[in-house]
Amino acid sequence: MATAIAKRNVVIADYSEEGLRNPLTLEIAKKVYPVLSKDIKKDGDIYPAQVEIVTQKGVYRQRVDIPYGHPQRPMSLEAIAEKFRDCTSYSAKKLPQKNIEEVIQRVNGLEKESCVGDIVRLLS
Give the pLDDT of the chain (124 residues) as one tens digit per residue.
999 999 988 999 999 999 999 999 999 999 999 888 888 888 888 889 999 999 999 999 999 999 999 999 999 999 999 999 999 999 999 999 999 999 999 999 999 999 899 999 999 8
50 with 68, same domain: the answer is yes
Which residue from 42, 37, 2 is spatially nearest to 19, judged by alpha carbons?
2
Encode 36-102 in three state secondary structure.
Answer: CCCCCCCECCECCEEEEEEECCEEEEEEECCCCCCCCCCCCHHHHHHHHHHHHCCCCCCCCHHHHHH
- The per-residue pLDDT for range 55-89, each reduced to its tens digit, is 999 999 999 999 999 999 999 999 999 999 999 99
82 with 118, same domain: the answer is yes
81 with 112, same domain: the answer is yes
pTM attached to this predicted model: 0.78
Domain extent at residue 23: 1-32
Overall number of domains in the chain: 3
102 with 118, same domain: the answer is yes
CA pair distance 29, 80, nearest whole angstrom: 27
60 with 91, same domain: the answer is no
- Position 43 scores a pLDDT of 80
7 with 18, same domain: the answer is yes
118 with 84, same domain: the answer is yes
